[in-house]
Amino acid sequence: MKLFSALLSALFVFAATSFSALASDYKLGDLAIHKAYIPATVKSAPVAAGYLKITNNGKEDDRLVSVEADFSAKQQIHTMKMVDGIMRMRPLKDGIFIPGGGETVLKSGGDHLMFMKLSEPMQIGQMREVTLVFEKAGEVTIVMPVVDPSSQEDGEGDDHSGHSGHSEQTDEHSTHSH
Ligand SMILES: [Cu+2]
């Protein structure tokens, strides 16, 4: 009975929050943030990715410079690139450029938010608060729904294989030890 009501309220929260996530994108000055989501992770996964689209309706360029989240110990902004036939990720030290009057898409196989050292798995239906920090526009906290990875509309194949080489990759760039 207890489980059932917990399940029911979880469903309700999911329905309510997914509706609001769909209904209202986020605005911060001239920036608009849409279609933010985090693909669900398996239990042992140390990292999760985050994707979204940023539209810049102003004339001035801006830049996504950092990401904050309380469900991971460390957050980075990554890009993915083919190196010797293998998808590798690396941190973008200068963040992601958002041209004035243009848009930037963080998507599977390309630039993405990286949540490292997860405190718990990302489960389908959860809503995760993430703060995006922009060079000029300032910061905004958004709620990113955790979705079934196989339901990504713009999925371009299994490019998350690059994530397996992740910890070695980031050792070059970070001072923490594993
Ligand atoms: Cu990454």
Q: Report how far ligand 1's centroid is from the alpha carbon of 112 (Å).
A: 6
- What's the pLDDT at 11? 56
* Residue 123 · residue 146 · CB < 8 Å: yes
At 29-69, the pLDDT tens digits run 999 999 999 999 999 999 999 999 999 999 999 999 999 99
* Residue 50 · residue 144 · CB < 8 Å: yes
Q: Report how far ligand 1's centroid is from the alpha carbon of 162 (Å).
A: 8
Which of 82, 151, 72, 152 shows the shortest CA–CA distance to 116?
A: 72
Domains of the chain: 26-171 (2.60.40.1890)
Give the least confident one: 52-66, 73-87, 128-142. Answer: 73-87
Q: Report how far ligand 1's centroid is from the alpha carbon of 160 (Å).
A: 9
Q: Report how far ligand 1's centroid is from the alpha carbon of 167 (Å).
A: 10
Please, what is the Cα angle at 50 between 47 and 52, to 5 degrees? Answer: 170
Per-chain mean pLDDT for the chain: 82
Give the least confident one: 29-38, 65-74, 80-89, 105-114. Answer: 80-89
Work out the percent of the chain whose per-residue pLDDT is above 90.
Answer: 63
